[in-house]
Amino acid sequence: MANKSWNPLNYLWDDYRPSSQEHILFARHMVEAAQAECRRMEDRKVPRWILRFALHSLSLDPPPPVSVVADCLVMVAVDLGCDISNIVALEERCVQTS
Stretch 31-60: mean pLDDT: 86
Span 46-86, pLDDT tens digits: 888 899 999 999 999 999 999 999 999 999 988 888 877 77
pLDDT at 96 over 70: no
Look at residues 21, 46, 50 and name the one whose alpha carbon lies nearest to residue 35: 46
pLDDT value at residue 93: 56
The fraction of the chain above a pLDDT of 90, given in percent, is: 37
pLDDT at 42 over 90: no
Cα–Cα distance measured from residue 49 to residue 27, given in angstroms and rounded to the nearest whole number: 13
32 versus 90: the higher-pLDDT residue is: 32
Query: Do you find a cis peptide bond into 62, omega within 30 degrees of 0?
Result: yes
Largest CA distance in the chain: 43
